[in-house]
Amino acid sequence: MKASIASLSADSSNGRRQDCLNLVDGAIGNVRELSQLLRPTILDDFGLDASLRWLTERFQERTRIGVEYESDFSGRLADQTETHLFRIAQEALTNVARHSGAKQVRMRLQSDSSEVRLSISDDGTGLIGGGNGKQKGLGIVGMRARARSAGGELMVLSREGLGLQVEARVPLRGPTDA
């Protein structure tokens, strides 16, 4: 489409032609960014820790909400498990930006001999009415489903006005790795 528009003769509608080219360039950029966010190549190349670091840096740039990231995990997990944890983090950060009013987020990736824990907490408003992790927002439902697909569980802790914490725990060896 861009090549076809670019090959049009530069006549009196040159301004319209340039607008079309700019729209196509914007659409190409959006598709590239979306494909990176679905399964960023950094996840394949460098693993979950580097991917989460990249995600938090991009989130800070985009939202101006501070993120403190800590990790003691440098290993690799099954591809699907890494993708699930990445997408849980992505959804949690999206929820922070959209709903929390937070100024600061803390993300931690930790492991021990049996499991990997990803926790994301913020200093925002928390869930209305407090919350016991049983809210049925689609974002939370999706995060819970991803944690279960990785053989783990998702917990959501909130006190109204005191922020929200999402924690995913998955086995070090995924359900198909055991």
Q: Per residue in 91-110, pLDDT tens?
A: 999 999 988 899 999 999 99
Give the C-alpha distances (Å, rounded to integers) separating 114 from 2, 61, 70, 101: 51, 34, 19, 35
- Mean pLDDT of the 159-166 span: 87
In whole angstroms, give the CA distance from residue 172 to residue 178: 9
Q: Is residue 58 predicted with pLDDT exceeding 80?
A: yes
In whole angstroms, give the CA distance from residue 57 to residue 55: 5
The half-sphere exposure of 26 on its side-chain side, counting CA atoms within 13 A, is 6
pLDDT-derived band of residue 175, with 50, 70 and 90 as boundaries?
low
**CB distance 50 to 38 below 8 Å:** no
Q: Per residue in 111-147, pLDDT tens?
A: 999 999 999 999 998 887 555 444 556 789 999 999 9
Residue-averaged pLDDT of the chain: 85
Whole-number pLDDT of residue 15 = 72
Q: Is 22 in a helix, a strand, or coil? A: helix
Q: Is residue 4 predicted with pLDDT exceeding 90?
A: no
In whole angstroms, give the CA distance from residue 48 to residue 56: 12
